[in-house]
Amino acid sequence: MYTPAAFRVDDPAWIFGHVERHDFGMLVSAAPLMVSHLPFHLVRPQGDEPARLVCHLARANPHWQAFAGAGAEAVAVFRGVHAYISPTWYGQHPSVPTWNYDVVQAEGIATLVEDPAEIAEQMRAMAAAYEPTPGFDMDAQPPKYMDGMFKALVGVTLTVRHWTGKRKQSQNRPQADRTAVAAALDARGEHAAAAALREANGIA
């Protein structure tokens, strides 16, 4: 991912927080070139162990075959808030339109998880994160039904070897322009995009 120095984020706390907030991402493989849109669960680094991203695919989705055997290189992409930026909001001219956005990219080796117990653990983590209380109780479902579900799924673990964080939030513009853009986004009702710009630039 093209990441000029002004937009690069190396802070693991921000990167991991972004992934956890925007955990419906894209899993991309090169051979074959395929993309799957999936919810991910981030397992943060522990000791010398690198971070892992776990997800699961329908067995009917041929994408899982890319990771059979020893696994394969893959990328997971997590896009956050984004917004169109009009040059009419700038004080400095000439200027052209652009787009502001936050994104994190994780590169590593993806391997398969076919143990039903591990797939069940992934599903429990997802339910714990999203279900209301009381909500779906996986362990209360008929065992035969769940066994069939697990057989229809294939887990994937992406062991991350490199993270890239990017916040393209008008850092290359004069301070007055950044403030004006945030105000214009707020006026248009894009409050999350305005807040991201202010946070990235330390604007109160």
Torsion of CA 69, 75, 78, 83, to 10 degrees: -150
pLDDT of residue 10: 97
Helix (H) or strand (E) holding 87: none
**pTM of the predicted protein model:** 0.94
Q: Which residues are within 8 A (CB) of 45 and not within 5 positions of it... i.e. 6 or more apart?
A: 51
Mind listing the pLDDT tens digit for each residue in 12-32? 999 999 999 999 999 999 999
pLDDT of residue 204: 85
The pair of three-digit structure tokens given for residue 79, joined into one six-digit string: 């896009």
Which CATH number fits the domain that encloses residue 160? 2.30.110.10
Q: Could you give the number of structural domains in the chain?
A: 1
Q: Which residues are within 8 A (CB) of 123 and not within 5 positions of it... i.e. 6 or more apart?
A: 56, 138
- Domain boundaries, position 60: 5-201
Mind listing the pLDDT tens digit for each residue in 130-163? 888 888 888 899 999 999 998 999 999 999 999 9
Among 111, 62, 85, 112, which residue's Cα sits nearest to residue 168? 85
Mind listing the pLDDT tens digit for each residue in 39-90? 999 999 999 999 999 999 999 999 999 999 999 999 999 999 999 999 999 9
The pair of three-digit structure tokens given for residue 32, joined into one six-digit string: 């074959």
Which residues does residue 54 pair with via DSSP β-bridges, in sequence order? 41, 157
